[in-house]
Amino acid sequence: MHLLQTDARQSNRELARQLGIAPSTCLERVRSLTRRGVIRGYHADIDPAALNRGVQAMVSVQVRPLSRAVINAFKAWAAEMPEVLSVFVLAGGDDFLLHVGVQDLDRLHGFLLDRLSKRKEIVGFRTSVVYQQVQKTVPSRLEET
């Protein structure tokens, strides 16, 4: 899996060569990982700044009343917003964490005032601007000790 996480575009033959196994064995292992849901897809790593989303923020959101209908409706609405890169549903003091990417601080301010603050189920939100991001593209497997 580590080799696929590092470069998902490599051929089955190249992957098999690096693992020291037959291409047919390699192909069956990758298919098995896909069937089991371990491999969920293959994605390109896109630079947000290249898409004019140089300003990123994490927005913690609280909604009320806490019900499945309210949570599902807000989650669906937030996921459709072009500014929202990711939606996390949380336990604890906040109900959602939105990863937002916009062109500049004025657009972030506009998103917060013109979109979030107008939602009647939102009772509060806090915004943290992201200065830098270090993303771990190859998560290591957790080993039991």
pLDDT at 19 over 90: yes
pTM, two decimals, is 0.79
Strands of the chain (E only): list them: 55-63, 84-89, 96-102, 122-130
- Return the pLDDT at 139: 66
Closest alpha carbon to 71 in 96, 97, 99, 98: 96
Amino acid identity for residue 140 in this structure: S
Q: Residues 113-140: pLDDT tens digits?
A: 999 999 999 999 999 999 998 887 666 6
Mean predicted confidence (pLDDT) in 82-108: 97
CATH topology of domain 2-35: Arc Repressor Mutant, subunit A (1.10.10)
Domain boundaries of the chain, sorted by first residue? 2-35, 48-130
Q: Within 10 A of 108 (CB to CB), how many other CB atoms are there?
A: 20
pLDDT at 145 over 50: no
Q: Residues 32-82: pLDDT tens digits?
A: 999 999 898 888 878 888 888 999 999 999 999 999 999 999 999 999 999
Pick the CATH number of 48-130 from 3.30.70.20, 3.30.70.920, 3.30.450.20, 2.40.160.60: 3.30.70.920
Whether residue 23 has a cis bond before it, omega within 30° of 0: no
**How far apart, in whole angstroms, are the C-alpha atoms of residue 3 and residue 19?**
9
pLDDT at 109 over 70: yes
The b/e string for 14-45 (b: 16+ C-beta within 10 A; e otherwise) is: ebbeeeeeeeeebeebbeeeeeeeebeeeeee
Residue predicted with more confidence, 103 or 45: 103
Q: Are 15 and 4 in contact (CB under 8 A)?
A: yes
Mean predicted confidence (pLDDT) in 17-29: 93
- Structure-block tokens of residue 48: 């947000």
- Structure-block tokens of residue 135: 């993303």
**How far apart, in whole angstroms, are the C-alpha atoms of residue 3 and residue 95?**
36
Mean predicted confidence (pLDDT) in 86-91: 97
